[in-house]
Amino acid sequence: MTSSLVSTQDRQTLVAVVYAAFPHSTFPQGPYQRAADAVLEAAGADPRFLAQLVQGLGELDAQREVPFAELDPETAQAVLRGADGTPFLTAIVDSAVVTLYSDPEVWELLGYEGPSYDQGGYVHRGFDDLDWLPDPRIEHEQEMTA
């Protein structure tokens, strides 16, 4: 259903927009494509957003000599900064951020074990096993009053 809403080029542009908004060099394309599809699904339910999306994607492609999806990451991010705060980009980001960071493949890439509420929470499931953060500095009461 979502693929028939926009052209192939517009979908490629949308995937590139999601990547430029949330760049992770270690992520494969799958999570970005799924996030773009979620944006398209939202647009399919809102004709105004769909029109805004198609127009905005076309405008992004027209800003440089090559389509947005072919821009290098730094240029793509600069182009998006120019659209920051627009309803077009805000709607994409608001939809894509939830889908991208709710993706179990992304959780695995980031080292997140997933939600724990159905397993009794994190108290007995490694709430303090963050090995990528430095150990906290512990100050004794005596040091704090000195």
pLDDT (0 to 100) of residue 136: 73
pLDDT (0 to 100) of residue 1: 44
Q: What's the pLDDT tens digit per position in 39-85?
A: 999 999 999 999 999 999 999 999 999 999 999 999 999 999 999 99
Q: What's the pLDDT tens digit per position in 121-143?
A: 766 666 666 677 777 787 766 55
Which sequence spans correspond to the domains of the chain?
Answer: 2-112
Asked if 2 and 36 touch (Cβ cutoff 8 Å), the reply is no
Burial code of 86-119, b = ≥16 C-beta within 10 A, e = fewer?
eebbebbbebbeebbeebeebeeeeeeeeeeeee
Asked if 73 and 32 touch (Cβ cutoff 8 Å), the reply is no
For the chain, the C-alpha Rg in angstroms (whole number) is: 20
